[in-house]
Amino acid sequence: MYTVSDTMNTQFKKGVLELCVLVLLDRKDCYGYEMVEEISRNIFISEGTIYPLLKRLKTEGLVISYLKESQDGPPRKYYQITELGKEKKEKLVAEWNEFAMGVSNLLYNRNVDMEGNCDE
Amino acid sequence: MYTVSDTMNTQFKKGVLELCVLVLLDRKDCYGYEMVEEISRNIFISEGTIYPLLKRLKTEGLVISYLKESQDGPPRKYYQITELGKEKKEKLVAEWNEFAMGVSNLLYNRNVDMEGNCDE
DNA sequence: ACAAGGTACCATATATTGCAAGGTACTATT
DNA sequence: AATAGTACCTTGCAATATATGGTACCTTGT
């Protein structure tokens, strides 16, 4: 197993795993177990997390799913991103970048906006 | 008010606001309202968020507090980071950097570790 | 004197979501 | 037949950001 350190703050992942799944599915159709392996290369994710998440995404119409048999194990449930899912993905990527930059600015004491030119 | 777009994903902030508060307090003592203003320059934060957070940090011994009068308003409750808080801050900063890099790798399809040299 | 608005604090209830723990079932290997 | 790996799923729990509503002080305008 790949397993990045599982000491990683659980809270940090909130909302981000959804983004990660959508990004993966935008590249190619995947099944749940596969996505856990993929994501686990970079950030720790529990298997118990992915299935409720995928269910949510399906309910929200961001993905659809189809079954496919496998030679080495039980049938796999592949997920495919929808147009709505792609839009959501783009939005989340943008929000993530804005957020990560904001945090970075805070950590490095860079106050980007209005530094002396604040008209108020 | 500074107000970064409040459409920013609420979930992204989970755990990060604690990090932000500790970073600010590592620079100088602050009172709650002040921290909301500081943080709001970079990421949206609601006032209702900071006080339960500060209470938690105090309970965990990461900060201490003292009252100070103010000429223009009610007395301010200043918070000061403790040694334990500084350690926690360092740990969170490291975890955040690891996490943010992991997400970035996933978004940009960079598989850093074990690419062909996985002995298993 | 009094109302309004800004400053500054606080508590409670709610929603979201990651995870642990437990379960089912198929296939291949021992 | 037993074990291990693959692959799916559900339930209950824990953590935390926010909305909402509240208290109280100070200044300014009327």
Look at the block and give the residue holding tokens 């957020």: A99
Nearest CA among B43, B53, B94 for reference residue A96? B43
Instruction: Determine contact, residues A87/A22, Cβ cutoff 8 Å.
Output: no
Q: Rg of chain B over CA atoms, in angstroms?
A: 18
Q: β-strand B63-68 against B76-81: which pairing, if any?
A: antiparallel
Burial class (CB in 10 A: 0-12, 13-18, 19+), A47: exposed
Per-residue pLDDT tens over the stretch B31-76: 999 999 999 999 999 999 999 999 999 999 999 999 998 877 888 9
What pLDDT band is residue A112 in, cutting at 50, 70 and 90? low
Cα four-point dihedral sign B3, B23, B9, B14: negative
pLDDT given at position A51: 97
Distance CA B62, CA B88 (A): 8
Distance CA B93, CA B100 (A): 10
- Asked if the C-beta of A94 comes within 8 angstroms of chain B's C-beta atoms, the answer is no
* DSSP reduced 3-state for B117: coil
For an interface test with A, the pick among B42, B43, B98, B101 (most A C-beta atoms closer than 10 Å) comes out as: B42
Q: What is the CATH number of domain B10-107?
A: 1.10.10.10
Considering only CB atoms, B14 lies closest to which of A11, A98, A114, namely A11
Please tell me which residue lies nearest to nucleotide D16, judged from CA to C1': B14
